[in-house]
Amino acid sequence: MNQPTSHSDTPSAENLAAHGAVVQQFHPRARVALENPQIRRNFRNAMDGLMSKRRSAFEGWELETLRELGANIRQRALANLPDLLEQLEKNLTDNGVRVHWANDGDEACRIVRKICVARNAKTVIKGKSMVSEEMELNHYLEEQGIEALESDLGEYIVQLAEETPSHIIMPAIHKNTEEISELLHEKTGTERSHDVNYLTASARQQLREKFMNADVGVSGVNFAVAETGTLCLVENEGNGRMTTTVPACHIAVTGIEKVVGTMEDVTGLLALLTRSATGQHITTYFNMISRPRQFNELDGPEEVHLVLVDNGRSTIYQDDELLATLRCIRCGACMNHCPVYTRVGGHVYGTTYPGPIGSILMPHMLGLEATQHMPTASSLCGACGEVCPVKIPIPDLLVRLRRESVDGDSERPSNVRGHGVKRGHLEAAAWLGWRWMHSQPWLYRLGTSVSARFRKLLPRTMGGWTRYRSAPKLAPKTLHQMMAQRSSSVRPSARMPQSSNVAQRGNLS
């Protein structure tokens, strides 16, 4: 996180100031990103590649049917969420996995610490987990004197650079090989190189030792299967398997929405996840974790824990429309296809989850005060909704959050924390004026014909619009005026001689 944020419901003055800063920094940060050709190129190339890989991966599949299936699986799981969570807890407990519940990120951090302290653990190795980013777990553990090291290559790079992930699947996507080479050289003494294999191998070597010495492994979870009490973890680097099997203690952290009913549910979602995320038919590793090491087994952790984190999710759960947000399986396709994200990258948003999914999720985690820039940072082009493997209507939810930001609907009360934060007197008055003019046809016709008449008086500069474009030009006559003139002269049917082929086809129809 670029800004410290509070997980509590009543942000302190200090946190409010930090929230304000996140919002206010959006435009300056966007400008910096837009003017940085390196950033523009890195994201454009990466996103173009990901889009094309996704397209090929779904070739020959009935994508719409599969998306429908994915949406139904997730929606059904959410409909039974309380029962599934209880079932998951029971089955995991029966298997010997200890289950913990955390209301927010801070509580989840404390749970992880308690487990570490009980084991006298000094070092934690981490697999990739966005929920742990949400919790700001690394920062917290460091403060408690426990070393936390990322083992996913992208996360490792981001951690070395003292940054946060700029993408939920590819955390270091904002960096190119040269930047990574420089960073590894500076922080670890690795020789500078353009050879990706060399850089990867040297990072791998450094991490290998850490795995052997780590006291605790922390991972995320992609799907938690209630029926069997199984934690599924999708990954490519093998670091996830190392994290969950080498240290004597494994702590999995995940959001409460990640639970599904059966293993069969996983198959559909997995097919969608890997193809949507990285354009892979299957990832290199797919881990299924059900229990700690048994007495007759040679490896695996002695202790396995699952921390189920709420952090605003149960609030989303209470709203039938917003609920769709929780279907997300964190594939990142919405980001890869977002023309805004592609141009500015993830850091500009200033939140754990950036891009379209971040813009509909973060307002519930941080409140609208801190995230009011997010729902508007979209042209509502719909590309995100079109590719979402579980059919989250992201554009509709962005509009819903815009409405909440300005308390714009007296028929539908606002629910989201911080609602109304963006409602300004001036803008509200402007929309009232707009409504007045457009709900009275005579006034509209008068107004528009006067505008057309005095079109030369239209200003030639219009703020941000004319920085990049010429000013729009009003026509000398409105369509209304032209049509009025037309009906007062001749009947339309008598005016237009029909072409002969039309007349013939007219007889046929």
Partner 1 sequence: MTDAIKLYPSKPQKVYFYGTCLIDLFYPEAGMAGIQLLEREGIEVIFPRDQTCCGQPAYTSGYHDEARSVAAAQLDLFPEGWPIVVPSGSCGGMMRKHYPDLFRGLPQAETANEVASRVWELTDFLLNVCHIKLQDLGQPATVAMHTSCSARREMGVAEVGPKLLKQLSNVTLVEQVRAEECCGFGGTFAVRHPEISGAMVTDKVTSLVEAGAPEFVTTDCGCLMNIAGCAEKSARPLNGQHILSFLWQRVSGSPTDPVEGDSRS
Interacting residues with partner 1 between 314 and 353 (CB under 8 A)? 339-340, 343-344
Residue closer to partner 1 by CB (options 117, 431) is 431
From 107-115, 164-172, 305-313, 501-509, give the range in contact with partner 1 by CB under 8 A: 501-509
From 123-131, 194-202, 248-256, 481-489, give the range in contact with partner 1 by CB under 8 A: 481-489
* Closest approach of partner 1 to the CB of residue 484, in Å: 7
Residue closer to partner 1 by CB (options 48, 186) is 48
Residue closer to partner 1 by CB (options 122, 423) is 423
From 211-219, 266-274, 282-290, 475-483, give the range in contact with partner 1 by CB under 8 A: 475-483
Question: Scanning residues 109 to 138, which ones bind partner 1 (CB under 8 A)?
Answer: none
Distance CA 24, CA 425 (A): 19
Task: Please identify which residue in 243, 254, 325, 478 interacts with partner 1, judged by CB under 8 A.
Answer: 478
Which residue is it, tokens 């209470």? 318
Query: Where does residue 147 rank: exposed (0-12), middle (13-18), buried (19+ CB within 10 A)?
Result: middle
Residue closer to partner 1 by CB (options 279, 301) is 279
* Closest approach of partner 1 to the CB of residue 102, in Å: 33
Residue closer to partner 1 by CB (options 284, 465) is 465
Question: Scanning residues 25 to 64, which ones bind partner 1 (CB under 8 A)?
Answer: 27, 30-31, 34
Question: Scanning residues 370 to 429, which ones bind partner 1 (CB under 8 A)?
Answer: 376-383, 385-386, 391, 393, 396, 399, 402-406, 408-412, 422, 428
Backbone angles phi, psi at 397, to 5 degrees: -70, -30
Distance CA 194, CA 494 (A): 74
Task: Please identify which residue in 79, 117, 201, 503 interacts with partner 1, judged by CB under 8 A.
Answer: 503
* Closest approach of partner 1 to the CB of residue 462, in Å: 8
Q: Give the orientation angle of helix 196-213 with respect to helix 177-188, to 10 degrees.
A: 40
Residue closer to partner 1 by CB (options 301, 393) is 393
Our finding on whether 502 is near partner 1 (CB under 8 A) is: yes
Angle at 385 between CA 267 and CA 262, to 5 degrees: 20
Distance CA 505, CA 459 (A): 49
Residue closer to partner 1 by CB (options 187, 343) is 343
Our finding on whether 95 is near partner 1 (CB under 8 A) is: no
Q: Which residues in 352-375 are b (16+ Cβ under 10 Å) and which e?
A: bbbbbbbbbbbbbbbbbbbbbbbb
| Number of neighbours of residue 117 by Cβ within 10 angstroms | 11
Task: Please identify which residue in 117, 424, 434, 454 interacts with partner 1, judged by CB under 8 A.
Answer: 434
Q: Give the orientation angle of helix 153-160 with respect to helix 177-188, to 10 degrees.
A: 60
* Closest approach of partner 1 to the CB of residue 440, in Å: 8
* Closest approach of partner 1 to the CB of residue 169, in Å: 21
The token pair that represents 479 in the structure block: 């369509």
Q: Give the orientation angle of helix 394-405 with respect to helix 355-366, to 10 degrees.
A: 40
Distance CA 290, CA 85 (A): 15
* Closest approach of partner 1 to the CB of residue 477, in Å: 6
* Closest approach of partner 1 to the CB of residue 26, in Å: 9
* Closest approach of partner 1 to the CB of residue 459, in Å: 14
* Closest approach of partner 1 to the CB of residue 9, in Å: 23
Bridge-based pairing of strands 285-289 and 230-235 is antiparallel
Residue closer to partner 1 by CB (options 122, 505) is 505
* Closest approach of partner 1 to the CB of residue 480, in Å: 6
Q: Tell me which residue of 194, 244, 199, 193 sits closest to 219, measured CA to CA.
A: 244
Is residue 105 within 8 Å of 135, Cβ to Cβ?
yes
Sign, CA torsion 294/298/303/305: negative
Task: Please identify which residue in 201, 212, 432, 450 interacts with partner 1, judged by CB under 8 A.
Answer: 432
Question: Scanning residues 455 to 474, which ones bind partner 1 (CB under 8 A)?
Answer: 463-474
Distance CA 130, CA 219 (A): 10
* Closest approach of partner 1 to the CB of residue 130, in Å: 24
Task: Please identify which residue in 65, 120, 318, 499 interacts with partner 1, judged by CB under 8 A.
Answer: 499
Is residue 150 within 8 Å of 129, Cβ to Cβ?
no
Bridge-based pairing of strands 223-225 and 147-150 is unpaired
Residue closer to partner 1 by CB (options 189, 506) is 506
Question: Scanning residues 218 to 277, which ones bind partner 1 (CB under 8 A)?
Answer: none
Residue closer to partner 1 by CB (options 197, 509) is 509
Residue closer to partner 1 by CB (options 27, 90) is 27
Q: What torsion do the CA atoms of 355, 321, 325, 102 make, to the nearest 10 degrees?
A: 130
Our finding on whether 435 is near partner 1 (CB under 8 A) is: yes
Amino acid at 301: P
Q: What torsion do the CA atoms of 386, 389, 391, 393 make, to the nearest 10 degrees?
A: -60
Q: Tell me which residue of 305, 293, 313 sits closest to 100, measured CA to CA.
A: 305
Angle at 183 between CA 180 and CA 189, to 5 degrees: 120
* Closest approach of partner 1 to the CB of residue 165, in Å: 21
Residue closer to partner 1 by CB (options 249, 377) is 377
Is residue 108 within 8 Å of 307, Cβ to Cβ?
yes
* Closest approach of partner 1 to the CB of residue 44, in Å: 9
Residue closer to partner 1 by CB (options 110, 343) is 343
